[in-house]
Amino acid sequence: MKIIVFTINPIFPDKVTGGASKHLYYIIKHLGSLGHQVEVMCPRTQDLDAPFSFNDKVKVYPELNFSLPFPQPYGISASDLSLITRRISRRLQDADRFYIHDGEWLIPDVYDHVPTAASFRDNPPFEIISILNQSWALLWGNRMRSSVFLITLVL
């Protein structure tokens, strides 16, 4: 299965820069070990501007022109946002699944044709189950989070 992954955080070949990146590192390595082809799209930085691989199944493409995650990753020009949208759309053309890490790409018109899962800053292993088994399911780490989501959805 070909899984495209989006993250607003840079992913480096030789270091982990925080909790979100650490979770994603383990998720993508695990998916690759299961035989899935994983392509990670992340921001480009001064230190990270060329694609690299963790292994033959997991490739990272630092090709998105976001600002660094804090304080304003979306503090970019309209042309950069358009380019990012185009790049994500192209990668998704032949994807089997789309995983949005940390819920930072909530523009569903770009991925409405691909079964999609997103994690929202907590419990990424719960959301990853939806990529592998039930792309239509919402899975929660606890009742409070699901209640807040359902109440928000109804309002």
Query: Could you report the per-residue pLDDT of 101-139, keeping only the tens digit for each?
Result: 876 777 878 888 898 887 766 544 444 444 444 444 555
Find the mean pLDDT for residues 6-25: 88
* pLDDT value of position 131: 43
Is residue 4 within 8 Å of 39, Cβ to Cβ? yes
Decide which of 43 and 150 is more confident. Answer: 43
Q: Helix 124-132 and helix 19-33: axis angle, to 10°?
A: 30
Give residues with Cβ within 8 angstroms of 53, minimum separation 6: 59, 60
Decide which of 138 and 93 is more confident. Answer: 93
Q: Which residue's entry shows tokens 């946002």?
A: 81
pLDDT above 70 as % of the chain: 74
Decide which of 65 and 105 is more confident. Answer: 65
Distance CA 44, CA 67 (A): 9
What is the average pLDDT score of the chain?
A: 80
Find the mean pLDDT for residues 9-13: 90
Distance CA 153, CA 83 (A): 31
Is residue 58 within 8 Å of 29, Cβ to Cβ? yes
Distance CA 106, CA 141 (A): 20
Task: Give alpha helix (H) positions in 1-155.
Answer: 19-33, 78-92, 124-132, 143-154
Instruction: Check pLDDT > 70 for residue 60.
Output: yes
Instruction: Check pLDDT > 80 for residue 71.
Output: no
